[in-house]
Amino acid sequence: MNIKSSQTLVSEALKEVKTITSEEALQLFNEGKCNLIDIRERGELDKTGRVENSNHIPRGMLEFWLDPNSPYFKTGKLDMNKEMVLFCAGGLRSALAAKSLKEMGFDKVSHVDGGFASISQSDFKIV
């Protein structure tokens, strides 16, 4: 059995997905050009806070909540024409998640390098 490591999967994803800085994410967010999606688990948000006005979609539900044909689709929650900017705690899960959204057919997808750790050091408002 030849199993790819999680490190290999992340490395492959990073070659395929757009990576942006927290400053670039903030600019897109402030200009209303993206959906800022926090894919961390609820417990992580409870422990460290969340970005004001961001969307929380747990990683395990991302593909289901963004699939218009899924019973879990969140109608009206996101603007499907805007860039999907994903972040997790450190940038690994969001790279995998961004790759998954690209595979679903989303053209405008990126993830934040350094995740929430980077975002919390920028000018985003954490609540």
Domain of 58?
20-119
Each residue's pLDDT tens digit, 32-87: 999 999 999 999 999 999 999 999 999 999 999 999 999 999 888 899 999 999 99
Whether 10 is covered by a domain: the verdict is: no
CB atoms within 10 A of CB 120: 14
Whether 11 is covered by a domain: the verdict is: no
Whether 114 is covered by a domain: the verdict is: yes
Whether 58 is covered by a domain: the verdict is: yes
Q: What is the CATH number of the domain that holds 99?
A: 3.40.250.10
Q: Is the pTM of this model over 0.85?
A: yes
Q: How remote is the C-alpha of 9 from its chain's centroid?
A: 16
Domain count, the chain: 1
Whether 52 is covered by a domain: the verdict is: yes
Whether 101 is covered by a domain: the verdict is: yes
Whether 49 is covered by a domain: the verdict is: yes
